[in-house]
C-alpha cells in the first residue's frame, strides 16, 4: 500500500512574505494525485506543523488549518509535528506500520525545510520514496529564488546515497501515468 504525505500546506504559509511559489498549481496537482490514490485504496496523510503560540502555525489558530483548497476525504489521516522531520516525535512511523505502507509519495511545503528533511528521513528508514517534482513549493529566500531552490532539491534527491537508490523524483504527469497504468 502507498501513502502520500502532504506536508505543511496550511493557511499560515500564505502569510509568508514573499508568498509560496506556484502554490495554487501545486495544490491542483496534489488534488489530482490524491484522487487516484484514494480510488486505488491507498491513503493520504496530511502532515500538519504545530508552531509555538506566537507563530502563524500555532495549534488551534487559523494559520494552522490545512489549506481549504486541498481535497480531503474522511479516510485521510492527519499527523501533527513540531520539527521539520515528519517522523521526529510523531506517530507517523506507527501509522505507516499500521497500514503496511510500502511506498511514500511526498509533496508539500517548504521544499528546503520540511519536505527535504522528511524525504531524507524516509529514505533513511529504507522506504521507497517518490517525490513529485512539481508538487512541492517554497518561497523565495533572500539568497535564492524559489524556482532555483525547487530545481536544486529535485536534482539533489535524485542523487542521494541511500539503500537501493530508493528516492525517485518524477512529475505529476509521470506519477499519474504510473499510478493509472495509462
The domain locations on the chain are 2-180
Helix (H) or strand (E) holding 136: strand 129-137
pLDDT at residue 22 in the model:
94
pLDDT tens sequence across 24-79: 999 999 999 999 999 999 999 999 999 999 899 999 999 999 999 999 999 999 99
| pLDDT at residue 162, rounded to an integer | 86
Give the pLDDT confidence score for residue 1 in this predicted structure.
Answer: 96
107, 81 Cβ separation under 8 angstroms: no
Give pLDDT, residue 15: 83
Can you give the pLDDT at residue 164?
Answer: 75
The answer to whether residues 112 and 149 touch, using CB atoms and an 8 Å cutoff, is yes
CATH superfamily of 2-180: Isochorismatase-like (3.40.50.850)
> Which cell goes with 96?
505507516
Question: Distance between CA 106 and CA 100 in Å, rounded?
Answer: 17
* pTM, 2 dp: 0.97
18 vs 148, residue with greater confidence: 148
Confidence at 165, pLDDT banded by 50, 70, 90: confident
What does the pLDDT read at residue 176?
Answer: 98
What is the Cα–Cα distance from 82 to 115, expressed in whole angstroms?
A: 14
Report the SS3 class of residue 55. Answer: coil
Each residue of 91-135: pLDDT tens digit?
999 999 999 999 999 999 999 999 999 999 999 999 999 999 999
Q: How far apart are CA 66 and CA 71, in angstroms?
A: 10
**pLDDT tens profile 150-161:** 999 999 999 998
Instruction: Round to whole Å and give the CA distance between 138 and 96.
Output: 26
Q: How far apart are CA 43 and CA 151, in angstroms?
A: 27
Q: What is the pLDDT of residue 82?
A: 97
Q: Is the pLDDT of residue 163 over 90?
A: no
Amino acid at each position: 500500500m502507498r501513502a502520500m504525505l502532504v506536508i505543511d500546506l496550511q493557511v499560515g504559509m500564505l502569510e509568508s512574505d514573499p508568498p509560496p511559489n506556484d502554490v495554487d498549481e501545486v495544490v491542483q496537482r496534489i488534488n489530482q494525485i490524491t484522487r487516484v490514490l484514494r480510488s486505488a485504496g491507498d491513503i493520504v496523510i496530511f502532515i500538519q506543523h504545530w508552531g509555538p503560540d506566537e507563530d502563524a502555525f500555532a495549534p488551534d489558530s487559523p494559520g494552522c488549518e490545512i489549506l481549504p483548497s486541498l481535497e480531503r476525504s474522511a479516510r485521510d489521516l492527519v499527523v501533527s509535528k513540531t520539527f521539520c522531520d515528519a517522523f521526529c516525535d510523531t506517530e507517523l512511523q506507527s501509522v505507516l506500520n499500521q497500514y503496511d505502507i510500502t511506498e511514500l509519495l511526498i509533496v508539500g511545503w517548504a521544499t528546503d525545510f520540511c519536505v527535504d528533511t522528511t524525504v531524507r528521513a524516509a529514505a533513511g528508514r529504507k522506504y521507497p520514496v517518490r517525490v513529485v517534482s512539481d508538487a512541492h513549493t517554497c518561497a523565495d529566500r533572500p539568497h535564492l529564488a524559489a524556482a532555483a531552490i525547487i530545481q536544486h532539491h529535485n536534482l539533489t534527491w535524485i542523487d542521494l546515497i541511500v539503500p537501493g537508490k530508493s528516492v525517485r523524483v518524477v512529475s505529476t504527469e509521470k506519477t499519474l501515468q504510473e499510478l493509472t497504468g495509462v
